[in-house]
Each structure stands twice: as structure tokens, then as C-alpha cells.
Structure 1
Amino acid sequence: MESGTVTTPFGRRSMTLGMLSSQVASREIEPDKTVDKWKLYRALCEARPLVGVTDRALAVLNALLSFYPKNALAQEHGLVVFPSNAQLSLRAHGMAEQTIRRHLAVLIEAGLLIRKDSPNGKRYAHKGKSGEIDEAFGFSLAPLLARSEEIERLAAEVVAERVHLQRLRERLTLCRRDITKLIEAALEEGAAGDWMTISAHLRGLLERLPRVPAAGQLAATLDEMEMLREEVVNQLEIQLKTQNQSGNPAQDERHIQNSNPESTSELEPAFETKQGERAVGNNDPNTEPSDERGQKAPPSGGVSGGVADLSARHSLKSFPLGLVLQACPQILDYGPGGTIGNWRDLMSAAIVVRSMLGVSPSAYEEACAGMGAENAATVIACILERGGQIHSAGGYLRDLTRRTERGEFAIGPMLMALVRANAGARRNVS
């Protein structure tokens, strides 16, 4: 049985008040108290950050517990185990004896073990005539039994904190997704608002977080992101109410387009047979309207005439030039003087890039006719940005033109994907 006297360490190891405190607490254990050793060990593994022990030290403790003959820690069974360092090394997966001694010292310093040394420092036990152990010298597990409630409470705190951190991460992910999708929808639908500033604010909030944020940092960032999401939703709701009060603006817009099939955008160039040349527009109101290839347009009464072509050409929405340049910064190198200040500069750069990418003049003319000159130049900029991922730029552009005519293509998602990709690349470089 374990004696109730205070024991001091063997040899040059000094006695500390912490060791004395652990021994005093161990003598106050209730006589009938029992704890499952493996459940207590799992709780200790959970509470490890608060207890102040390493995972290697817990591996040594696991080996020590394996030498305890019962599953339940109790004073009546004795609480001292006395394996040699060689035996501990075998059960600690071959850990070196010097390392085992170091981690044993960590466990004793943390108040999880008591060293009960023999007069010569060896570990052994005295047995009585009946074979029962009268006294043992080794390591006492009494502190584990005495601190079982404390260890379980600390484990519960760690688990609760981990769950709280996980919930914060989930809410942050959902909030970020909501804001990103709402901005994409606003840009796609042409909603009024400074969406690029809001997008930059969102990126700033995310970049401010460290790689492994604490719960307080996540909570503060989440509060700001939720306020930002509420602001975005309020702006979109106000615009929806305004549209509902003004009747059916989409129908009015289509009616205005169809009522004047001869109107064309001054920024849409008409191409001749030579690359990069523009056709001179005819301002005579008595002449028949012509398409962008110089051919006469069909009468406006035809279902597939100029009205249908104009509607298809304007089915894509143009996006702010700043957004295009943010998504496709490589196009800046091909602008006049190495810069792009307006849409005409972008379209000039697109003509240069078109030739460099191997896109035929006819394919680019069809894209301008189907998408509009601004959108065609935007698509060329996007193809340049994704040059390594597209094998045939000309075929890809023709496919997008056909999809535009069927109403199956939108530029907004392509631009936003490139904005996110460029932002991620900048973060990796920094």
C-alpha cells in the first residue's frame, strides 16, 4: 500500500513547493473515489492546451497507465506504478530513455504525477506473504485521481471553445459567400452602387485575419462583415422597390430598343475587309440602315431582321472599365502608350491582342456584331488573362459569340472569377 508521508526525490533532484502541494492534495482523496483511467486520459488529451503538457508527455503517461493493473483508478488498488525506463520505452513506441526522463519531469512539473523514489532511486515493490503489494516505489497516479473533476472541466471548456470557433468560421464563410454572390448579381444585373468599393472592403476584412485567427478576431471580423452584408442587401432592396414603383422598366427598355432599330452604339466599330480598319458611317437619314459588315439590313418588319439582331447584340450588359482592368491587368501593356484610359483605348488594345492570339478578323467582327464592341474587347482581355488555359482563342471566341446569340453567356461571372484569382495571387506573393 502507498504510505501517507511526504516523499522527496532521489539524488540531485530538488524538492519544490509544487511537488509538496501535489502530495498534500493527493492525501485528501475520498476513500471510495474511483475514475476510469482511459476516460480520464482522453479528457486530459482534450484539456492539454490548458494543462500545459505536450503530446509526447501524454504518450509517456499513456504508457504509465498501461502498467496500472485495473481500469479504475482507486486508492484501494494502490496508485503507484514502477516500470523501468526500458519497459516504458517499449510501450512508448521505442521512445529514447533520455526523452522519457525529460517528459516524466514535465508531467511531474504539471502536477499530474508524484515521484515516489526508493532509497537507492530504483523502482520496485515489496510484497507481503499473501502476494499483495505492501509498498511500491515509482510514480504515483494519485494526482490524476485527485484532479479528475478539474481535468474534466478543463476538457469541457476546450471542447466548447473549439465548437464556438467552428461556428464562427461557418458563419464567416456563409457571410462572405452571401456578399460575394450579391455583388456578382448586382454587377450582372447592372444595379446602381459602388460595388467595387464594397468588394475591396470585403477583401480588406479577409486579408486582415491572420492565418490561424483566434475566436475574438473572428467575432470582430464577422460583426463587420454582417454589417457590410446588411448594407448590400439594403441597397438592392431599395433599387428593387424603385423598379417596382416605376412599373416594368425592363419591358420599357425593350420597347425603346425595338422602336429604333437603326440606332447603333458609337463605340461599336464596323470592320472592312482589312484588319483594324473602321467603316465610315453614313449619316444620311434617307439611306437604308446597314449592319456592321457593310451589308444592307433586312426590313424592320421581318422577325429575324435588324430588330432581332440589335436585341441580341445588346443582350450583354457592359461593365465598368475599372472592373475590366482590375480583372484583366495584362491588357494594359497593349494600350496606347502602355495605358488604357477609356473604352476606345481598350478596343484598340483588343485589336492588337486579337492578332497576337491568332483570332481571325472575321471571328472578332462576329463577336463585335453579337456582343457589342465594348463587350467583345472585354472578352478578348479575359482570353488574354487566361491565355495558358485556352488552346484556341479564335474557336473559343466564336463559341462565346454563338452562346451570346442564344442568350446563354454572361460576362459578369467571368470577370468576377478573374478578380478573385488576381486577388488570391497577390496574397500569395505578399
Structure 2
Amino acid sequence: MKNLEKVVLWTTLLVLCPFLTVFSQEASTKWYDKIGFGGYTQLRYNRLLETNDKLQCEQCDKSLGAGKGFFLRRARVKFAGDVNPKMYAYLQFDMATSAGNSLQHILSLKDAYFDVSLDNQKEYRIRIGQSKVPYGFENMQSSSNRLALDRNDALNSAVKDERDLGVTFYYAPTVVRERFKMLTKSGLKGSGDYGMFGFGLYNGQGPGRIEQNDNLHAVARLTYPFELENNQIIETSIQAYKGKYSIPLSEANLSTQTLWDDERIAGTLVVYPQPLGFQAEYNVGKGPEFNPQTMKTELQNLKGGYAQVMYLFRGDKHSFMPFFKYQYYDGGKKFERDARSYLVRDTEIGVEWQVGRYFELVALYMISNRTFEDALKPVNQVIGNTLRLQVQLNY
């Protein structure tokens, strides 16, 4: 055997050792008994007290604007559990995805991954499959936990649908994993357990999309939830990613380049609502953005983020959480036509009412100033206000 072949053989065996150990564990005779079922459904109406029916948001809620009515925003079902002492599986589907402008809903795959633990405490694990990219607290926070009806444009424009296909390594000591679990289960609006440290490689074009270039994206995140003597928890994070992205172009765009640099870095601060809370994130970077002056897509700097204040009133069976959120974004959206240019200044004032663990109602008044321009519509600023309602059922 040649030396090169020996190196490849031993390298492969070393990589596979942790996985061989996992599958050598004695599996439960009834592993399916450990699989849990759950989900949630969200119904929205966005047209109350509307001042401008041209106000839209392709990224967030397609039921904003003229000709729209009641909208099934999400209808999620998930299956998750330990199928092996060292392997956790997670599947999530959405039945609220519409085909174009049709209300004929289709079943779509949101998450499909498994975590392979490299130790008995599950502090070191490798996630393989389609999952959320560890970039941004609000991106990773489940829509069932988030206060505002939509994620902020600034960080959500980094990753299409917050997810992609790839492999990620996560590490978190047991005490930190328990803290992440508590922050979600207790109603404090945690983001879930994405490790204290994470590093991953993913396609970069978004979930359900074929990689269109030979460049994988790389992402890294470091976060820590500090617990103070008064039991208040403050989480700080830093995250960054880098890669290449292929954009869609319209015929009116004078540029012919489709492959662009795509890189960002972001900081996060979360003071969990006990009872007063604060949440803020900001990111900077560079990526493709349409320039209406030259009628071309160009590589430009981007910046933006949001700040949110909330207060938790908790009773025996009911809880109320009023909140105030402001967001700002100046940059392109790579997954939209021509990497559409955006300048967003939105203010949201709302309250969430929870009855037990199964029913939630959110009322939110949005004051919006959005400029979003591409080669087919190079001049487009829309200003408007609207009252938005959402009912959520958890199961």
C-alpha cells in the first residue's frame, strides 16, 4: 500500500472512531418511546388601522399590504428524541408554506438533523443535517418564543430562513446546557441550546437550495449566560461567518456578476426579563447590494441591528409581556432579486398575553419606514403604520 493510501486510511478511521463508538452502544428495544411530538400554529391579521397598503416585507410576512387578509403564518410539527444513548434526532415540518400567492398550503421540511455526542455528558457534540446556522440570538430563537412577530432585517438577512445544510461542532458544559434549557422552558424567551461555542461549515445558499458555487460558508459563535447573585441572567455573544454567495439577477441589472463575497460579524446582549429585560444585537459586514445610481449590483458595506425592552408580569395562569422594539438596517438582501438594497427604520410597540402554556395572543403596532430598491423598481420608499394581531396555539 502506498504511503498516501495509508494516510487516507488511518485519517478516515480516526474520524469515524467517535461515530463507531456511538453506534456500538446498546440501543433501547423501544427507542421510539423516547420520541416526542409537538409544535405550534400561528394565525395573523395585519390590516387593522392600516395607513398605507403598499407597505410590504418579502422577507418576513407576505400577508402585509393590499389584497391580503387572515394568514396562516406557521403550522409546525416536530418529532425529536434520543434514538441512541449518544444520538439525538430532530425533524420539523411546516404546513403553512403557500405555493406562490396561493393559499394551497404545502408540506415543507424545516429541520432534519441528528446530534452525535462525543462524551457521556453530551458536552461535546456534532450536528449533521439541516439546522439553524448559529448566527444571531433572534435568528436562533424559536418563533414560538419570540415577542416581535418577525425577526429583524439586519441579522435575518444573513441567513435565508435562518437554516442551511451542513455540519457544526458544539461545546457547552453541563451547567450551561441546563441554563439554556431553563431559559426556554421557564418562559424567559431563551434561544435554545446552540452550545457555548460553535463552529460549522454549511452550503450558504439557504435550506432546500442546491449549492451554486464551490465555496462553503464557515461560521463561529461564542456565547455565555452569566448568572448573577440575584438570579438575574445576562447573556453576551459574538458571532461571525464568511463565504461566497450566488445572487439572482434581473434583466434590467447592468451587472453580470453573480458570485459575491459574503461576510459579517455580530454582537449580542440579552438581559432576560426578570421582570425587566433588554435585548440588542448589531452586525456589520459586506456583501452584494443593488446601487440605484449605477443600476448595478455592487459589493458594499452593510450595518444594522435592533434594541428591545420588555417587562414580564406573571400570574398563576396568565402572563403579560409588553415590549418596545426599534430596528435599523442599511444594506443588501442577497437572497432577493438583484440583492435588493434596503434602508429600514421600524418601531414596534406590542404586548404578549399568555394563557397557560397553550394559548398566546400578540397585539403589535408597527410604525415603518422602508426603502427597498432593485433594477425593476429603483425608486421605492414606503412609509406606513398598521396594527397587527397574532394568535398562537402550542401543542
TM score, norm. by length of structure 1: 0.20
Question: Which structure features the higher share of helix residues?
Answer: 1
TM score, norm. by length of structure 2: 0.21
The structure with more radius of gyration: 1
